[in-house]
Amino acid sequence: MKNKHRPTNVYPADLLSFSWPITALVSISHRLFGVVLFAGVAFGLYGLEVSLSSAEEFAALKLLIKSPFGMFVTWGLLAALSFHFVAGLKHLLMDLGIGETLEGSRLAARLTFLLSAVLMALAAVWVLQT
């Protein structure tokens, strides 16, 4: 028997109404932050090129990084790096056979969010101090 209330099409807006397990949220976030880091490499290479072109360009880039927008971008890249790093360690541990059960993977996902949140907060403090 077919369920008459089953949707035939799932639209992107429908994805927000699903109840995602925490393990799926960590996996999706790991991939999204990887894309952010890949885009951040372009910013970093551009900043390196500008900083090496002349002393004036270096000073201008330094002012841009010290601006609120520059500090937000810097923190965002550090936040992406911290989450991607912690989630990558979780995957490496799972490759070694640690946390492969459903309960273990849920605990690892919670720890991933917790540890990366601590690293993101430390990154914010570091960016604001420099």
> Which CATH number fits the domain that encloses residue 58?
1.20.1300.10
Within-domain flag for 66 = yes
Question: Has residue 24 been placed in a domain?
Answer: no
Task: Please report whether residue 49 resides in a domain.
Answer: yes
| Number of domains making up the chain | 1
**Boundaries of domain holding 73:** 35-129
DSSP line for 2-26: --TTS-S---GGGGGGS---HHHHH
Predicted local confidence at residue 122, as pLDDT: 98
User: Cα–Cα distance between 117 and 41 in angstroms, integer?
Assistant: 22
The one-digit pLDDT tens for each residue of the chain (130 residues) are: 566 777 678 788 877 888 889 999 999 999 999 999 999 999 999 999 999 999 999 999 999 999 999 999 999 999 999 999 999 999 999 999 999 999 999 999 999 999 999 999 999 999 999 8
Q: Which candidate, 95, 87, 82, 92, places its Cα nearest to that of 125?
A: 82
Give the predicted TM-score (pTM) of the model: 0.84
The reply to whether 125 falls in a domain is yes
Determine the pLDDT at residue 1.
57
